[in-house]
A and B are shown apart, each in its own frame.
Chain A
């Protein structure tokens, strides 16, 4: 008689396991939204890698519906609405405009963001601990790290006296970083010239004004393709927010890697797929900050990389 409840319990466990196994077998659709120029944004590659680590195999357990809008803020809202109409299970975003567009498009589908510099300031979440609504993600801590970027540039280029900060006028994160940057510039005895631009022509014009002995702080958000324009402006010592730029010719960067943010965010996506509500998942700060330096670019700029940078750098491009 004592065995009956145990048998019922076992049966229930079996039924639950089968049900769970069946739900695990479902093919989830992950919508991806960003402003990149191709589907292989490193944050997306990181997401795929992270989901694989969590046991979600592409084609078997998850499929990706990737929308990238080639730096065009106007196209982002339409792409977000398309993902909602397509009925994806989760929307994975990279950067503020994409996240805000997704948030605007749905209050129902869970959104997991990456590359958002300050999610509270940009009103993407109510608070980091209790994000509320259908949104959570990884904060790239951009406003907090901006002064450090200035410091890194000054350490690497001690002769620099004037640093230009060129950013998109409507970008909240870069605008918010400005106050921190001004404080840091004062402390480092640097003249900070902040220029908010509205279009590519203005960016080109501002970059022409940059003197040979000046430095440039690239913005975090790639709207209007400003970071690319800074990279292409030859022979200017510039500091970027992530190592990817340094791997492609920028002098130095300080900040979290795009790919690592994708991997980190995949853990949140996996929890959501297993049933956790996004509002119950606190926003996480990017857990790895890289200091990257390009020795070849330093050589071309006739800069000697000080041991202080070489010792601390965890990404060295030769």
Chain B
């Protein structure tokens, strides 16, 4: 009897050791994708990479997902849609990653979505705000950010409230800038503003002098630039050179990056920027009373962990977008209890909650319907949230003085 008990105990011990060893030996969950680590989008692309790394580290520090560690596999797409699509194809067919994260920008995400859709691989799109991407009947792509069409919502609303009448828009002839410019035109009409100029330019344009000449002639109250980081910087510089003096000037992408102010210095003062998120949200109080951190759960921890992992590196909305997308993906894997693509898709579709980035809920097309934009203004070298009004701790500096009247 004693012998039987001893054998029984031994069997249990061996089984326990085997199970423990088995769990430890489980392969990590490999999440792969490409990012614009070099090229046109390298600034936001690198911000996105850092945020993914913070997210994966946090997940692993908390015991991983489904009892497995998470491994982050990233390759440089050099800001090129074709390269990105090839990378994703290889990652899914040859390298057999378990899941994917999304690349940076609308054109690259659009190209990659053709590939992920073909493999029925869910992709939580951290940085694609062009509505058209989500209106092509795709079933495996999910939007995290507010759509491009809403980027100038704050600018148009404030301009109308201030009694301004005319607006000009400059936009790159690519998917995201085009969509946000069209959105602005619609918003302008809704707010009773007249569009006096709509100027488009091809990607990689560096000389905006002809456009500036026409804008100056149209003499609009508001100038809006729907562009990417490098063009945005060039447009602001050339507005100054051409002495274009609107009473409000706003930009879309890149205007929120610290490097934007570093490059432009005081020329960035008074400029409005649309942003999906700002690190200041961890401090902002609605009406000076209610902390808005509940809208961005985990944001404080994210800001602290990012600082620990990347000391001195500033955060941007692209960072938070990537982190939020990563949170949604990992949480959906947890809820699905599996890496099965269909089950994972079902969980993402059902997801109705808030991340570091704000609210997340998608319609049946995967189009974002819950997230809200913010508008900031550069004031004395700081980004200050000035819209929506309830989150604005200080009022906007209005009107923007003429270039000749600035110190």
Give residues in A with beta carbon < 8 Å to B: 36-42, 45, 68, 222, 227-228, 231-232, 234, 244-245, 247-249, 258, 296, 299-300
Contacts and interface: CB of A to CB of B under 8 A. Distances in A.
A232 B297 CA distance: 9
Interface residues of B, number: 19
Given A38-B394, A247-B390, A248-B294, 9 more contacts: A36-B289, A37-B285, A38-B287, A38-B393, A228-B291, A232-B291, A244-B287, A248-B290, A300-B352
A288 B295 CA distance: 28
B285 A38 contact: yes
Contacts of A39: 288, 393-394
30 contacts: A36-B289, A37-B393, A39-B288, A39-B394, A40-B288, A40-B390, A41-B289, A42-B287, A42-B289, A45-B287, A68-B288, A228-B290, A228-B291, A231-B290, A231-B291, A231-B294, A234-B297, A244-B286, A244-B287, A244-B289, A244-B290, A247-B286, A247-B390, A248-B286, A248-B292, A248-B294, A249-B295, A258-B287, A296-B352, A300-B353
A39 to B, nearest CB: 7
Interface in B271-308: 285-295, 297
Contact of B393 (A40, A232, A299): A40
Nearest to A71: B289
Contacts of A245: 290
| Consensus secondary structure, chain B interface | mixed
B215 interface: no
Return the 6 tightest CB-CB contacts between A and B, nearest first. Answer: A38-B288, A36-B288, A38-B393, A37-B285, A42-B287, A41-B288
A40 B352 contact: no
Contacts of B393: 37-40
Contact of B294 (A38, A232, A244, A299): A232
A66 to B, nearest CB: 10
A39 B289 CA distance: 10
A245 B291 CA distance: 10
B79 to A, nearest CB: 37
| Consensus secondary structure, chain A interface | helix
A14 to B, nearest CB: 36
B352 A299 contact: yes
Given A299-B352, A300-B352, A300-B353, A37 B289 contact: yes
A112 B291 CA distance: 27
Contacts of B126: none
B256 to A, nearest CB: 21
B344 interface: no
Contacts of A37: 285, 288-289, 393
A277 to B, nearest CB: 31
B392 interface: yes
Nearest to B361: A296
A163 B292 CA distance: 25
B294 A249 contact: yes
Contacts of B290: 227-228, 231, 244-245, 248
Contacts of A300: 352-353
A68 B353 CA distance: 33
Contacts of A231: 290-291, 294
Contact of B287 (A41, A228, A299): A41
Nearest to A43: B287
Contacts of B389: 40
Most chain A beta-carbon neighbours within 10 Å: one of B287, B289, B292: B289
Contacts of B294: 231-232, 248-249
B301 to A, nearest CB: 13
Most chain A beta-carbon neighbours within 10 Å: one of B285, B293, B389, B390: B285
B303 to A, nearest CB: 16
Contacts of A232: 291, 293-294
